[in-house]
Amino acid sequence: MAGLSDDQKHRIAAVLAAGPIIPVISLHRTADALPLADALLEAGIRVLEITLRTPQALPAIELLSKRLPAEVRVGAGTVTDPAAYRQAESAGARFVVSPGITPRLLDYGLTANAPLLPGVATVSELMLGYELGYRSFKFFPAAVSGGIKALQAFSGPFPDVSFCPTGGIRQNTACEYLALDNVLAVGGTWLTPESRVSAGDWAGIARLAKESLASCRGQADRP
């Protein structure tokens, strides 16, 4: 079986490089999608992951992919099977993130329009993706799966693999992850706290994102 094409590899790596901080967003009201995205964009965020954990996710992806400027990449997260993958693509997702891997998901990602960022927590999972040509992975749940030390250890046998760790990352640890050579981006929910979203505190969310980007500037500007 043919593996992941170079084009697919570049496309998912480009999504991560456009981060480097990626809000992981679960929406409970479709009406929040645009003002939330505007606040994040104003702060300098360029990649948004909308998780398929609520019924509002697909309509929000559809809306945002039509309304936001082309340089903003809106993707779908928490995609766990090919059926959800197809729905995310139909809604306009520019990339797809899975929390873990299954053979069917990895296989679907090989020829999908929206490139896949498969989730792994162990070397053996990584190797299942690696043998199909995947070179960019979500490392999830990062903090409880070894965190920074695990990522440093992965770089020995897999120097050509890049990661986007998520799960347990907060503003005060994001930069430490981003400082690693094999980390292209970090993601998490700390940028869009549920309490601020439900209160419509868009200014507060923009401030949080600005602070996160500014505090990681050295790492964030890495070519």
Applying CB under 6 A, does 168 fall inside the site for ligand 3PG?
yes
Q: Which amino acid is at 202?
A: W
Residues 159 and 188: their CA atoms lie apart, in Å, by: 24
Residue 169 vs 223, nearer CB to ligand 3PG: 169
Provide the 10 A C-beta neighbour count for residue 155.
16
Residue 115 binds to ligand 3PG (criterion: CB under 6 A): no
* Those residues with Cβ within 8 angstroms of residue 56's Cβ, 6 or more apart along the chain or in another chain: 27, 28, 29, 30, 33
> Which one, 147 or 188, has the nearer CB to ligand 3PG?
188
Q: Tell me if residue 42 is catalytic.
A: no
Interacting residue with ligand 3PG among 85, 134, 137, 140 (CB under 6 A): 140
3-state secondary structure of 95: coil
Q: Look up 138 and say whether it is catalytic.
A: yes
By Cβ distance, which residue is nearest to ligand 3PG? 188
Q: Which region, judged by CB under 6 A, interacts with ligand 3PG, from 3-11, 85-93, 182-190, 196-204?
A: 182-190
Helix 57-67 × helix 33-43 angle, to 10°: 50
CA distance 149 to 146: 6
How many Å apart are CA 47 and CA 99, to the nearest integer? 17
Establish if 102 lies at the interface with ligand 3PG (CB under 6 A): no
- Which of 23, 115, 129, 188 is the binder for ligand 3PG (CB under 6 A)? 188
Q: How far from chain centre, in Å, is Cα 34? A: 19
Footprint of ligand 3PG on this chain (CB under 6 A)? 24, 77-78, 99, 140, 166-169, 187-190
Q: Supply the residues annotated as catalytic.
A: 49, 138
